[in-house]
Amino acid sequence: MGKRSILAVDDNKTNLQIIKQILEQEYTVMLALNGETALKFVEKKRPDLVLLDLRMPEMDGTEVFKRIQENPDSATIPVIFLTADGSEHTESGCLELGAADFITKPIIPRVLMSRIEKTFELEDYHHLLEEKIVEKTREAELLTLQAIEAIAHAIDAKDEETNGHSRRVAYYSRAVAARLGYKEDTVEIVYQSALLHDVGKIGIPDAILKKDGALTDEEYARVKQHTVIGANILSVITTFDHLPDGAHYHHEHFDGTGYPEGLVGSEIPMIGRIVAVCDVYDALVSRRRYKEGMSADEVRSEIEHGAGSQFDPEVVKAFCRLLDEGLAAGAPAAE
């Protein structure tokens, strides 16, 4: 690792030369006589630390500091204010602005070196802590993903005839989200949410879910509750945003005739609109105890017919284009 760089800003040339002599053996030192020059150094060189005179003509240290903070590329650079005004009011004002430290003039070499070393130690600690947080977050996400996969397998295992349904819906949903232009992390959320869209069926009795004949009105009302049950189950998982959306909204209709809330159009979260199309497609092409599976062409026609009423037209368009490109051929098979 090379020398750390420090930008010293002061309208007094003598002060700058003193700072340079104190620091140049340990650090790469840059000097600026005014605020405008300092900001150019910050933009082009991005020093590791700024020593900033508080009282300067034209642009004082407070203004320079604010402009450094306003730029996302330089906002994390630590700044130590330098001033001959050692009053408690001035010191507290600098620290309240967000400065890393405050040093009074005339500059004492060992004090300057000590304060800089302490500031860098604190910065290193913060970076280490951030790395640890990122590492722990990744570990938590991995555990969550493993739990999601286990839950999805449990859902499909509940009924042999629907084995693989959740994974196929998730597969289709991920492809649609990507086709619609969503970023990779959002596409992954869509996949995980779709994988668990039927988790609420865990709370529906098998006697209803596996019934051979038509459901009574009361039984159908129980089945419809799987959307709310699923959303409640998934709401306790906070690692991923919007994870419950697939479960909660995949039976909402674009025209407002769906359930559980009767939302219309863009009121329905996009994950719900995507999963709605993919869920119906897989359900209709799959064989069930109470029906034979429809052909892919027949299902495509049904889905296109439902664009604007049951389904979001943009989602339908993206899904059908993917079918033309062979999407269904790569879908996961039942285990």
Per-residue pLDDT of the chain (335 residues; tens, 9 = 90+): 578 999 999 988 999 999 999 999 999 999 999 989 999 999 998 999 999 988 888 888 889 899 998 888 888 899 998 887 767 777 677 778 788 888 888 888 899 999 999 999 988 888 888 888 778 777 777 777 677 777 777 776 665 556 688 889 999 999 999 999 999 999 999 999 999 999 888 888 888 887 877 889 999 999 999 999 999 988 888 777 898 999 999 999 999 999 999 999 999 999 999 999 999 999 898 876 556 678 888 999 999 999 999 999 999 999 999 999 998 888 776 55
Q: What is the pLDDT of residue 237?
A: 81
Give 212's DSSP letter. S
Single out the residue of 222, 8, 212 nearest to residue 116, CA to CA: 8
Taking the C-alpha atoms of residue 158 and residue 168, their distance in angstroms, rounded to an integer, is: 16
Residues 53 and 173 in one domain: no
Residues 204 and 321 in one domain: yes
Which residue is associated with the tokens 């509750």?
225
Distance (Å) of CA 3 to CA 27, 178, 205? 5, 44, 68
Give how far the C-alpha of residue 148 lies from the chain's centroid of Cα atoms, to the nearest Å.
Answer: 18
**Residue 302 in tokens:** 């049904």
Taking the C-alpha atoms of residue 76 and residue 68, their distance in angstroms, rounded to an integer, is: 9
- Cβ distance 74 to 48 under 8 Å? no
Residues 167 and 230 in one domain: yes
For the beta carbon of residue 185, count every other beta carbon within 10 angstroms. Answer: 9
- Cβ distance 23 to 116 under 8 Å? yes
Residues 181 and 319 in one domain: yes
**Residue 128 in tokens:** 């280490």
**Do the domain assignments include residue 135?**
no
Angle in degrees, CA 139, 145, 149, rounded to 5: 145
**Do the domain assignments include residue 335?**
no
Residues 177 and 291 in one domain: yes
Residues 108 and 214 in one domain: no
Helix axes 313-324, 270-285, angle to 10 degrees: 50
Give the domain extent around 247. 158-330
Distance (Å) of CA 69 to CA 77, 98, 248, 265, 266? 8, 9, 42, 41, 38
- The sign of the dihedral angle between the CA atoms of 20, 24, 25, 27 is positive
Residue 185 maps to which CATH number? 1.10.3210.10
Residues 126 and 13 in one domain: yes
- Cβ distance 55 to 61 under 8 Å? yes
Helix, strand, coil shares, percent, the chain, to 5: 60, 10, 35
Residues 185 and 76 in one domain: no
Last residue of a domain, one of 80, 110, 130: 130
Total-model pTM? 0.61
User: How many domains is the chain built from?
Assistant: 2
Residues 94 and 205 in one domain: no
Residues 74 and 187 in one domain: no
Residue 23 maps to which CATH number? 3.40.50.2300
